[in-house]
Every structure is written in structure tokens, then in C-alpha cells.
Amino acid sequence: TAHVASTTYSYQTTSYNPLPRTQVNQILRPGIPQPIQTYPGHHQNAYSSFPASVAQYATAHNLPPPVGRIKFSLTSPKDFTILSSKYRYGDVSTDDDFIESFRSDIVRLSSSFGNGAVFEQPGKEDDDEELLGTARWRIPLAAYKKIYAFFDIRDDVVVDGIPEEHLNAAYLHLRHLEEGYPEAKTLVEKGIPPHVASTLTGYQRGGVNFCLSKNGRALIADEMGLGKTLQSIAAMCAYVDEGPLLVLCPSSVRFNWKAEVLQWLGKERNNGTGAPREQHPALLTELNVQVFNSGKDEINKDAKVIVASYDLFTNMVKKGKIVESTFARIIVDESHMLKNTKAQRTKAALPILKAAKRCILLSGTPAFKNPAELFPQLYVLGGGKWWANEKEFREKYCYKSSTVGGRNNLELYSLMASTVMIRRKKDDVLKEVLPKKNRDLAHVAVDDPSDRKKLNSLMDILRDTKGNLGIVARGLHGGRNKRSSGDLRAST
């Protein structure tokens, strides 16, 4: 069976879908006779077969066959999808999605890989202008080569495959995911101080290891509160012999960064091996951490970590105090502040960041409005290999008529995650590290009858709510008969 225009047909001699007769006159090219044959099993209102009949005519007259176009696109480092065009012959086409003819083939070819192919409705924001987008598959990446080969040998298909470098990056990222989080001792072997490695949670060790696997050039895009600062400090410790570290950040958090660096690297600590008497000496003193306060500041000879605001950094670049060879290690906090390639701070920063041997960008929201805001950050980390041309990037991932939202979002996210970005959400990782909640009861005496009446009324409302507080209230304040006349119980 095949599905076309919400109607099911049976046919025997071809894998092409028949076309309703009402559409034939709209699509047949002048000079090609209208096909009149039908296939057994059709409904009584006869159907012509386009492109089957046209294909026969084309073959007989040594003309190219009617074709459909399909596009393979990554949806995640684990999956890919297939989008297709209408069937076309010359400048005419059907109104039917080409890929619909091959549902059973796709399911069959992918059945031995994971959960096989899953059919989903596409998101409008991911549609290609030339593709229908009415068929959205989520197929295990392991099945890609098999399905690609199936379509590639057909004369009636123009195939846009996934670029080889994108595939290799996805395969590599998938392998890292399968390896799981490294042990603390693995990070110690890579140059991370023992007391820092032992402090990191599992997902933070994974983040540090990701940065190291990218040779110290990565974007940590974790949600706020998951420890991007600590992960970046830890990762840069592996390259401590490469010279001073520059931390580029908003002015308001300069001294927070100094405190964080000294917190983790400026104190004598247990080495994390479990032997309390073995202490790890402080790696930095306060004199080793310099915060720029004005454009007149010079880099201290004892400074191992320099913290600068975006504005001061821009000023010092313009004055020639910071050049491309000044820093080999750079951390960029709130890297989305470099979203505009025409802004002075971005123009000053990009050459310095691009030249640095190690550069870790931090942002929980790398782009606010559209994918174009990502380009400067991605150019820093992968320019020349992945994202070399801003115009091409905008054409592929941004809408022409809107400054909000983007196109091919799943492909872009997958490519970023496979190459330079690691992103975790609180819902994904906090369940790994948060202990089970312990609740204590506190008895509060409410002597005033009026106040007690108001509070009881509010508690009744709270018990009727559907959220977590309602659940807690019902559990701790099951009913008025369980409370003394002068007490209310509160959970802390």
C-alpha cells in the first residue's frame, strides 16, 4: 500500500505512487501524451500513473526520467531524518511527497538498528524551502549508509547526503557518549589537579573531558547553575604550562572570577585520594590573579590569570597592549556578548580568540533571537573547517524575511553538539547529584483567632492546588482535625 493525498491504493507492477486524474493536466509537460493506463486494484474513479507513465515515455524517447529530491539531515548526534521534494519532470511537479512511496523500505532497512525508524510530524521551522517537509523521520545514524545506498543507486532520485565531515563528527561524538563520564583519576592523568578532579560531579567531569577532547577549544552551554565556571577552570589546568590565562567577562563579575579561581586553585587542599594527610599545595596566590581596572593597566609579570571586562579588553586591543600572541589560553564568559560581527568588541575579540591555542566559551544562552548570533562564537572555535563563511551560514540557518527564529535548527544543533558544544539541562543532570529531600516539621503557634482563621483558609487553598506545594500541604496538613486549635505546621 502507499499513501497519497490521504487515500490508500494498491498496485502491483511498480513502486511509484499513482496520481489522481484531477492533477494530471496540471503537471504533464506539453508534448508528452496524457497517460491513460491504470493499475489493478484502483478505485473505480480511474487514476493515471505519474511518474510511471511519464517514465515509460521518457525511456522510450531517450529522455531523463521524472525525479524526486531527498535530503538527509542530522537531527542529533544519534539520529538523522529524510526530507523530500515533490516528484518533478522538468518544470512541472505533483503535489505529492516523493518519500511517501518508500515508507516500507525505510522501515525495513532500519529495523536492525536500535529502535528502527520512527515517523514524526516535522516542525515548521525546519522546513527547507524546496522540500515539502511533510515526512519527518527519526532514524538511527547507524542505518545511514544502508539507506543512503538504497536511494543513491536509483535513477529517479537526486540525493543530498550528509557531508562526510559532519558524519565523522557525529560518529565521534556518539562514541564519547557511549563511553560515559570519566573517573577522576582519568582527568588527573590528563593534567587536572587531583583535588579539583575529585570535586567535580559526574557530568562536570564529562564536560571537562569534552573540552580536553576538543584540545581546549569548546563551548560549554550548560544551563545556569551547573558549574560552567568550575569546568572551564579545571579544563584550563591541563594547559597550565602554555602561559597566563585570560578570562574575558562582563565587568560586573570580574571579582567573582578572581574569587572562583582562588577558591579552586589558591588554597591548600586534600589531594582527593582519600588520604587526609596528603595535601595538595596551592597553585596560585592572590598576586598571581590580576583584575584589570582601567585601560592603563599593564600585565603584571607575576600574573598567571588575568581577568578583564569586555570593554577594557577592547580598549587594550585597540592600544596594542593585547595582540594575537599575548594569550594562548582564554576563557570567554557570557560569550553570547560577541553575537554581532559588526560590533567593536567582536571585531577586537575575534582575531585574539581565533589565534589562541585554547579557548573555552561559556554561555547558557549562546543565541537569543536567531542562529546568526552563533556565528562569531562558532567561527572562533571551528572557523575554516566548519563555519568559515557567515553569508553561507545565514543562508542555510536563518530566515530571509525574519530576524527571529531559524531554519534547519536540528541539523545545526546536532553539528554543534558533534563538534564544539556540550549542553546539559538541569532536568537531565541534577537527578544524578542531588540527594533525596529531607523534610522537617516546625510547629508555629498562632494565638490570634483572626490570624489563625486566615492562615487556615490559605492552607485549605494550598491543599487544593495541583503543584508540588499542594502535594506537600496535603501530606503534612491532611485535614483540620489533625491540627490543634492553636498550631499550624510548616515544612522547611
* Domain termination residue (choose one: 386, 406, 432): 432
CATH number, residue 290: 3.40.50.10810
**Domain co-membership, 385 together with 463:** no
Q: What is the pLDDT of residue 446?
A: 85
Q: What is the pLDDT of residue 191?
A: 93
**Domain co-membership, 45 together with 67:** yes
Provide the domain count of the chain: 3
**Domain co-membership, 126 together with 227:** no
Walk along the chain (492 residues) in steps of 10 and give the mean pLDDT of each run.
33 36 40 36 33 57 68 84 68 59 86 82 47 63 90 82 83 74 92 92 92 94 92 96 95 93 78 52 86 88 93 93 93 94 93 95 90 91 76 85 79 84 84 64 82 87 80 65 46 44
**Domain co-membership, 194 together with 228:** yes
**Domain co-membership, 206 together with 269:** yes
Q: What is the pLDDT of residue 187?
A: 94
**Domain co-membership, 365 together with 276:** yes
Euclidean distance between the first and the last CA atom of the chain, given in angstroms as a whole number: 62
Q: What is the pLDDT of residue 32?
A: 40
Q: What is the pLDDT of residue 120?
A: 67
Q: What is the pLDDT of residue 318?
A: 92
**Domain co-membership, 17 together with 111:** yes
Q: What is the pLDDT of residue 131?
A: 44
**Domain co-membership, 186 together with 55:** no
Q: What is the pLDDT of residue 240?
A: 93
Q: What is the pTM of this model?
A: 0.64
The parent domain of residue 457 ranges over 441-491
